[in-house]
A and B are shown apart, each in its own frame.
Chain A
Amino acid sequence: MRLLATVAALGLALVLTLLVFGLPVADSLRLLGEGAFGDKFGISRTLAKATPLLLTGLGMVIAWRAGMYNIGGEGQLIVGAIGGAAVAAALMGKVVGPVLNPLILAAAMAAGAMWSGFAGWLQVARGVPAVISTILLNFVAIQLLAWTVQGPLRRSDGGLPQTVPLPADTMLLKFDRQLDLHFGLVIAVVAVLLVTAFLYGTRSGFRLRLVGASPTAARANRIPSERVAIGSMMLSGALCGLAGGVEYTGITGTLGTGFPQGWGFLAIPVALLGGLHPLGVLLSGLYFGALFAGSENLARFSTGGTTLIYVIQAAAVLAVVALAPRAKPAKIKEAAA
């Protein structure tokens, strides 16, 4: 029922947005569909765009489920990529690619976790709401990236202000040299399964959900909710950082100021439309991946492109919120379990 309502809301949001901006609905939908699923290039594009959305979306699920409003996925993704690039710069040529790649991803996760963990700590220890600090840290991260690629990590051959491109053997595996699709998709899907198992199959996952659903019940059960809060933020940031590392070693191979594409920002609608459930994120991440892939085709009608997708996403979130049942008795049930 809930799934059906969400799908209806998504469809409605898409069609309404097209109508409002005066685009021909049938033709636009056909172009979107062809761009996203028309041939193997389209499907590969869809999956490649969905990959970072899945990872960042999962990150949002973990934080929000613990009651932490992490709005800083974008900053965590950027800082993750910077961490990865720093490791790459230090070890490139000293370590073989297949070894270096996982090191880059691990550094990305660690850097992302630090960035978000700081925000979590600020809330717990200093009373600074994460919803504000994570947003402010996004802007700091953007400037940090600009400084890094123009300063310490800038390639020395005088080219564009960006980092030294990674050699091919350090990049994530590709299934087909013609396509963008890369091994990051497998990482993302495994992450979906792991997060599902963690949230619904482990004691820590249960505690995390309990802290978010009912802080009073958590306290009554002597769950250290402050540690859970910081831990959830760090996990969340690690996933967003991983998204940055995967994008870096899967698609771009280099960092420049144009690196962030808003994946961390758009993770929030992805997570919300996925019902803050990892399996829901799998569906909504794929849907928005398809929208992004298809939108390049829409350029024929509209210069909007990606900004139009923001509208569709916002409209979808609002539509889902509008259709959602009002009361939330689930909280009490879960606390009693």
Chain B
Amino acid sequence: MKNLIVIINSIIAAFVATLITLTGAFLYMLFNGGGEVGKRTIFFKALFFDNVEKKDGTVKLNFGVENFTPIIIVFAVYVVIFIVFFQIYNMLKNKQDQLRKEINHL
């Protein structure tokens, strides 16, 4: 049961972390490119931003997800990292509780 909760917590944390990373990467791409016309990609070519100048002078914007694979891989990596993080945290917390109990017995 405890392991299942660790996995669920890790999935939630990884989901939020992936979303934050994607937003951060997208904003970085926006700020970094200036007013250049053309297609740009970021996050291992997962996200793209394309601005095309039309004949009448107006600019057409296109953006979104081009490739889901890097996002899924990053999500999986985050899940593993968070599982390891939560497991280490639980181990240290158990050890701390054990030491406290021993001190109390003394």
B is bound to A? no
